Amino acid sequence: MTEDPRPPAGGEGAAGEPGDEPATRRLPVMEPVVPPGGMPAGPPTVRLPAGPASAASAPAGPGSPARVPAQQGPGVPAGSGVAAGWVVPGGTEPVIDLVDGTKTYETGAASVQALRGVTLRVDRGEYVAIMGPSGSGKSTLMHILGCLDVLTTGTYHLSGQDVSAMSEAELAEVRNRRIGFVFQQFNLLASLPAWRNVELPLVYAGVDRRLRRERALRALERVGLADRVEHRPGELSGGQQQRVAVARALVTDPDLVLADEPTGNLDSASTEEILGLLGDVHAQGRTVVLITHEAEVAAAARRTVRMRDGLVQDDTATLAGGAR
């Protein structure tokens, strides 16, 4: 699980763990709340120039450095367990466009600046890993990108829509419809079979019951669990439970898949399985942002953003992204 030390709040924070978040306005959720969250060895890398304030922003446009293109196409790598046919959101605007974002937490006389002017752009179809030590600001950044918290100053556009000043109800709708979360703890309801766990975002969105089941079953088939749709979480392995969580994240056809330490509770074999699945999801054109503290996990992405002291310290594209 990612961590950011902040002044104790004397109660539950946004992640539901005592004292890990300061007292700040809570956002109503329509899905389970996300628990907070050198260059990896491997393929050659090309360094993107650092920009002001964030120390490493890489906006696309005239004169900007070339990005490693997202791997897209109609096919799915053989043996992946994911069927072709994901519906990929359209549009040409960046999925994430964060400019000079700051986040300050006030607890009495104490003030902690968790983000100190972060600029980050993630284009549609990219696969980005965000890394950083404890206290770097990566958990706060994850909360901002996932619309679980709001900026103190700066702007954040999600797929072209300014979410910086949205109401709590509007943010809840954005989270449910436009962001697919994958959690370290899976956050599956133990009493429900796999397909009913997957359909939950559609329940919140008011989708018809018949269509909910149809889409949930199709999502489970695509992650290789067509024969486990009636199994409850306790009847599934850790890797299978995380596959259910990935299916739930994708069932609404979100603009962004946000994975917070998705392999943190898995053994090495299941870790490879889930990283392969996320790679397959990206290969279908999805935008994936992965929060992790493990270099070998970050190496699965095509770009690594390193946080330190509330700033982006380094932003590096991996030429042979996905190699582990």
Q: Are the beta carbons of 29 and 285 closer than 8 angstroms? A: no
Say whether pLDDT at 118 is over 50: yes
Does residue 267 sit within a domain? yes
Mean pLDDT of 90-97: 80
Domain count of the fold of the chain: 1
The amino acid at residue 33 is: V
Say whether pLDDT at 116 is over 50: yes
Does residue 9 sit within a domain? no
* Beta bridge pairs of residue 110: 107
C-alpha dist (Å) from residue 230 to 191, 209, 219, 236, 250? 11, 17, 14, 11, 19
The model's pLDDT over 141-162, given as tens digits with 9 standing for 90+, comes to 999 999 999 999 999 999 999 9
pLDDT value, residue 19: 37
What CATH number has the domain bearing residue 196? 3.40.50.300
pLDDT value, residue 69: 35
3-class state of residue 182 by DSSP: strand
Question: What residues make up the domain containing 130?
Answer: 125-137+167-318
The model's pLDDT over 50-63, given as tens digits with 9 standing for 90+, comes to 333 333 333 344 33
pLDDT value, residue 89: 45
Banded pLDDT at 92 (limits 50, 70, 90): low
Q: Are the beta carbons of 258 and 181 closer than 8 angstroms? A: yes
Measured distance between the N- and C-terminal CA atoms of the chain, rounded to whole angstroms: 21
Rg (CA), the chain: 19
Does residue 39 sit within a domain? no
Banded pLDDT at 93 (limits 50, 70, 90): confident
pLDDT value, residue 209: 95
Mean pLDDT of 200-212: 94
Does residue 243 sit within a domain? yes
Banded pLDDT at 80 (limits 50, 70, 90): very low
**Of 147, 53, 156, 151, residue with least CA distance to 97:** 156
Does residue 299 sit within a domain? yes
Does residue 56 sit within a domain? no
Mean pLDDT of 117-137: 95
pLDDT value, residue 25: 42
Does residue 12 sit within a domain? no
Q: Are the beta carbons of 234 and 190 closer than 8 angstroms? A: yes
Say whether pLDDT at 14 is over 80: no
pLDDT value, residue 77: 34
CA 127 remoteness from chain centre:
10
- Report percent pLDDT > 90 for the chain: 62
Does residue 119 sit within a domain? no
Say whether pLDDT at 11 is over 90: no
Say whether pLDDT at 85 is over 90: no
CB atoms within 10 A of CB 64: 14
pTM for this model (two decimals): 0.70
Banded pLDDT at 319 (limits 50, 70, 90): low
